[in-house]
Every structure is written in structure tokens, then in C-alpha cells.
Structure 1
């Protein structure tokens, strides 16, 4: 398994969203216009209702409420993309070539994953900004913080970038800032992942993602999609420190694994980001059984997400995952079941995939970047999952490729009978 990226740092502020037109010549590969949001599904609507779990922190979490100051995640989002190199690691390619590693792929990825509800527009400044000192002088390491008390690190880099831009470009007028370093600056990503995002306030470049080296796999641009998603308010799903085992979600969301083959976002994240309409989310807020038909994540329309709230901070989620344009590694189509916890901060496993085949080595074992044991996690026809408060029985696929499930929310037990902890705690 390739090394994991560092924990993204989070702070709070307010951003403006006025577009800035640059006079720099456009690149040869223009980002195509995004399709409009479908009628009846307005972009940017915040989740609400009994299944929209409340936050337990002012920082980024799995809560459907994103803290103030993060970037919008639906509608038109404007990114400023900059390029830096160093005296001891000068760029050996043009800015256009570095840019082409990520665009229009990132914009296309977000357009497809959001069903056209996120129109991502990147404005590049097509020149290398040479830093004043050698790369090592900035002491950039995995997990480096932004410390304005120091004269190195990301504080120094940001100060030099702003000085180079002068009055010609105002980064504060964009929703996001991408800083793409020359690929030879720092160690390869296969040895040490250093790409990081500083979302919110506390830095002169707000909602800024620094991208180092190159990532492996057939869609390496997703390192930027992962980092930008932090600015949209998504946490890291992998274990950021203290554990060496595979992530709890696996290749079912790029906030856990964005190495190797492509993978789409969880339906819960799509709801959180404003990409799902209320009609596309089924909330089982009261005891009883409902038969629900889930349309695969890879297809627009239909019910994308079913949620059973288990507590004010926990919920069981269901979605159908099948092979698709963004889901290259789905080798066992079916119903993916996850447990979401809003009281677990980023980098501590706030989402857990419930594995339908816990003793299996998996079905996607050809790429070491994929968490193979979780590759066959979806539940299929006839399988049942039960946890405290809910039972899921998978009825099977329909002729059109949707998946039908019988979802039961159990009546609350008397207080005296409640156990001290959930039967399936997150780990």
C-alpha cells in the first residue's frame, strides 16, 4: 500500500467568490463547460432533517454542516492554480505540462461525481514562480503545519508566492488556490506523501492545496481532487497517525484511498457537498421497514442514499456501487453499507465500511494501492446486515441494474436495556 498523505490542517474564515480574469494565454486543453444542474435538484442545498447529523466540533467532520469559511462545493467554484519551483529543483517541464497532469481531469471528475452540480473552473498563472531558497531550507516534511512564527515552511512559501504575484492577481478573490510544485521538489510520493491542504483562515492563501511530486495509478490527478475536497469540508477517512493497518473505508472514497484506479465519493459525501437533491435521499427516521430501490452511484437520478440515524452523531448509510466511469475497481456490485460518526475528527476513521465478506482476501487484488480485503465489501442478494438499531436485507438487483433492499429501523429499547457501547464501534 502506498504511503498515506498527512492530516490536513483546518481553520475558519470567510471567502469571497468574485472571479478574476487573467490576461495570461489560455492552455491548449480548455476545461469544458459543466452541464447545468438537473431541474428540481438545486445545487448547494444543505442537508437537513433527522438524518442530517449534527457536528460535535467546530472543525471539519462528517457532519452534514460544514464550518463557516470553507469553500462552496456546488455551483460554480473558481480555483487559482499556481506553479512553484526551487533553485535546487528547477522545473524541467513547462507550466502547461504540469497543469495538464491535473486539468481538465479534475474538473471533469468533479462534474461527473456531482452529476453536473459542481462547475469547477481553474484559472492558471502559466509561469514558474522561483522560490528564494533551496527546497530543503523550507523544512517541508510530512504533516508540516502552517506556522507564522517561523521563517520557513508553508508560511515562507506563501509569503514569497504573494510577493511574486504582486498586485496582478488577488488569490482572495478565488474559492480555492492550488499550488503545484515542480515534480522533482522533494521525495517521490511513493516514498513520502507531502501534499497537504490548509482550509479556512490562518494563512494568507485561503483554502490552499500544495501538491508535491507525482502520484501513481491510472488517475494520479485525484491527489488534487482529494486535497480540494478538504477545502469543501471533507475529512480524511484513513488513520492519520498511530495505526499502520489499512484504512476503514478502502477504495470506496478518495478521502481514504486516491491511489491506483479511479474511485467515486461515498453517497454520504455527495449529500454533504450538496450534490444530491432531497428526493435522492431516503431517511428512515422512524421505526419500521421500508423497501428501497437504490440507483447506482455511477448513474444520475434515482435514490442515491438511504440513511438510518442511530444516535445524534452516528448513522448507517446504504448506497449501490457498480462499475462505472469513476468506479474502475468495483469487482463485486451490490449495496455498500457504512457507519458514519460525526464525533470522530478527521484522520481517526470517521467512516467505516461494513464488510460483507470479512474473511475474504477481496476480489480486486491486482493493484497494491487498493485495500483488497474491502474490495468485495458490498452486500449482495440474500445477505443481511444487523447492527444496534437497524437491519438491512438485500433483495437483489432489478432488470435495470438498481438494487432493492428491505431496510428496518428497530424501535428504541427501554433505557435500562441499552448496552454501554454500540455493538459495532468504530475503530
Structure 2
């Protein structure tokens, strides 16, 4: 099977020169408006029609049946794809048992323009998230304590909350104008649990103003809120999974899979810029920026750091290689990218070449991505990193990582004057 022309497929050694791509626990006319709220669910959503996401090839994992699958052969059109400007409304909800201390304007500034700026940098300027705040409080009919708000929310109470919120806002909001809806609760109301912020998906969409509402972002953050919390939740709106693996033993060690890398693992990470795999999935990297290896053999690649900005004026025309992908199984690839102190990763702990596995058959919250640690015997950035064992995971110049099973070896040969990383990949085993 051959990669299409949009991919760089490599079978022999030769240099490739750039040509100048649901929520962690620590993060804190009404009758005609609503339809079948009893069908609400928090962790699954009916699959929408599929649309081609990028040209096919052996490195493009098929989208699986699991929630927020990491497959990217098709795009689930039930989710908005952030390759254009999207409009979001912020609705501020107050309750009879509390007088808000913060103003809507103050709560807007908690999240914007920071969230829009994060996505602008991550997308190389290709995605514009435009927020439209209501700038006044909408009164909920019941006291905040009556909704029993918490992280693992009882479906009946959650349904009541969403029913009341949409009905209360409908006279003042034209939902047809917006791609994303943020429901922001008064952070000082007594029934608010800051750990309950999440995206709620619908088995069958609600309808308001003739518009299907497939998911709502429920925000219960403190003021000021957790870092990057709205960017993380908005990532779910774009079909990105939680990258942590939720402990089943009641423990609090959620960060062992990806550590600081990608805000879908932890919004507090020192390197929250999305993985190159996610940028490819969302449409911010094109196939021509991704090198696909069928059988590595011995190849040499020049990798532009994933967070480095695109050439001025033409983000969509950037031809520099940002990601190398090797198919290693029916639902698995190994991905290789360079990370540096650029943009969203300005606070990175260790620069270098990052290697990770991606599985399209593992659901959100079960660890679909695993960072491979190039320095398993060391830790870094204690007191800052969310998981110091992976904070220094990238390879530096002169270092190598052997990947088993599979017989792959990734070695960093050099770093060029313009900041690109020269990487040799060897392996004799067919994927």
C-alpha cells in the first residue's frame, strides 16, 4: 500500500531538509425549546457522518468505535472542525441562593483572550475562536444546591440543570448564531463544585431556535480559574480525548501516560501545546508536513519543532516536516516530533525529540497516548512539572531510544542552525 503524494514516504536514508504541520480532577419558550433531555449522556455521543479528514495512507489510523478515538482517517461531522473561525457564546448563570461577587466581564477575562490565543498559536494562525459573552447574569429558577453539582454528576440532576439553563437563556440568546456554548455558573454560589467543569454530550441533540445543540460546556470554575481549563474542555468539543488514565484504585496518579505534554493530558503541563498527532487530526498539519514510514530501514529526517510558528503570512503553505509517523499495528502508530520553547511551550522543562505511541482503539480517559521516556532513570522540574518522571522525556543531541516491541531505534544526530532537529530512524521489522 503506497502513501499518496501528499505524504513524504521514505524507504532509504537521505536527509530531508525543511523547505522554508473530559477533564482532570485537579483542575477546578421553554416548552418548544427542549427535546428528550432524558437521553443526555456524559461520556458518549452518537457518531455523526464521517468526512475524509486527510489523504489516506498506511500511517493514518482508522477512527475506532471508542469515545474520542485517536483515529484520523475520517472526521466525525458531529463535531465542529477548528479549521475556520468558530463563534462561541458565554452565558452566565446566577442562582437564587447567592448574589454574584464577580461580574461577567471579570469572568470573561479569566478565559479570554487567553483561550483564543492558545488556539491561534497551536493552529499556526489557522483557527480563530471568537467569543461572544452575554455580559449579564441569567437567573436560574432553582437554588444552586438543588442541582447536586459534582464531578460524577447524577444524570437526573444534570438533566435538570441543563434544561433550566437553556430555557432561562433562550429568550436572550439566538443559539443559531453559535458553534460552541459555554454555560458559566456563578463561582461563589454554595452548590458549585469547581471539579465538575466538563463537556456534556447528547445521545440525541437538544434543539433551541431550530438549532441542534449536540454538546454544552458546563463551567464551574473558581475565580480565577485553573490554567488552560477552557482550552482543555474546548478540545473535547473538537473530538480530542482525555489523555490521562483515570485510576481505578481511587488513587490520584493521573499523569503517568503523557505527563506535561499536551493539555489534553493536563492543562497545568509545562508543555501544553497539542501533540503533532492532534494537530494533524484537527487539520492544522497537512499531509505534506507529515512523513509516513512503512518500513523504516534507515532514514534521516529534519524535524521542525511542533510549536515553532509558521512562516509569516502563509500558515497553510508551510512545507517543513513537523511529524514522523510509523505504523506499528492495526490500531497503533509511533509518532516522533520535536518540542522546543515556542508559543504554548514557552515554559517547557526539556527541549528535544519526543517519541510517543498512539492507539485508536483506546477510549478517552483510558490513556490512548503514551509518551516513551528517553530518560527513565531521571526526573526533572520538581515543583513545576505535573509528572517529573516524564518532564525530561525528549531525546537530546547524541541520544537514542530503542522501542520494543518493533525493533525501532530513534537517534538524534544534530540540531541545525535554524533550530531543526536531525533524526535518524532505523528498524528492520515491517509494521
Correspondence for 2:161 among 144, 157, 164: 157
Alignment partner, residue 3 of structure 1: 25
1:233 aligns with 2:239: yes
How far apart, in 2, do the equivalents of 1:312 and 1:124 lie? 45
Describe the shift of the 1:175–1:12 C-alpha distance in structure 2 as closer, same or farther (beyond 3 A): farther
Length, aligned pairs only:
373
* 1:140-289 mapped onto 2 (5 Å cutoff): 140-144=149-153, 147=155, 150=156, 152-153=157-158, 155-185=159-189, 193-199=195-201, 201-204=203-206, 205-214=213-222, 220-242=226-248, 244=251, 245-247=253-255, 248-259=257-268, 261=270, 263-289=272-298
Describe the shift of the 1:168–1:131 C-alpha distance in structure 2 as closer, same or farther (beyond 3 A): closer
SS of alignment partner, residue 358 of structure 1: coil
1:198 is displaced (CA, Å) by: 1.9
1:266 is displaced (CA, Å) by: 0.7
SS of alignment partner, residue 300 of structure 2: strand
Describe the shift of the 1:262–1:187 C-alpha distance in structure 2 as closer, same or farther (beyond 3 A): farther
Alignment partner, residue 303 of structure 1: 321
Structure 2, unaligned stretches of length 5 or more?
1-23, 29-40, 207-212, 311-317
1:215 is displaced (CA, Å) by: 7.8
1:185 is displaced (CA, Å) by: 3.6
Alignment partner, residue 391 of structure 1: 409
1:194 is displaced (CA, Å) by: 1.2
How far apart, in 2, do the equivalents of 1:8 and 1:253 lie? 22
What's the TM-score once normalised by structure 2's chain length?
0.80
Describe the shift of the 1:354–1:262 C-alpha distance in structure 2 as closer, same or farther (beyond 3 A): closer
Alignment partner, residue 373 of structure 2: 355
Correspondence for 1:107 among 116, 135, 158: 116
Alignment partner, residue 130 of structure 1: 139
1:229 is displaced (CA, Å) by: 0.5
Structure 1, unaligned stretches of length 5 or more?
16-43, 414-427
Correspondence for 1:334 among 348, 352, 355: 352
How far apart, in 2, do the equivalents of 1:215 and 1:256 lie? 22
Alignment partner, residue 37 of structure 1: none
SS of alignment partner, residue 344 of structure 2: coil
1:371 aligns with 2:371: no
How far apart, in 1, do the equivalents of 2:275 and 2:417 lie? 24
What's the TM-score once normalised by structure 1's chain length?
0.80
Describe the shift of the 1:261–1:303 C-alpha distance in structure 2 as closer, same or farther (beyond 3 A): same
1:168 is displaced (CA, Å) by: 4.3
Describe the shift of the 1:185–1:267 C-alpha distance in structure 2 as closer, same or farther (beyond 3 A): farther
CA RMSD in angstroms, aligned pairs only: 2.6
Alignment check: 8 A CA contact 1:114 1:270 kept:
yes
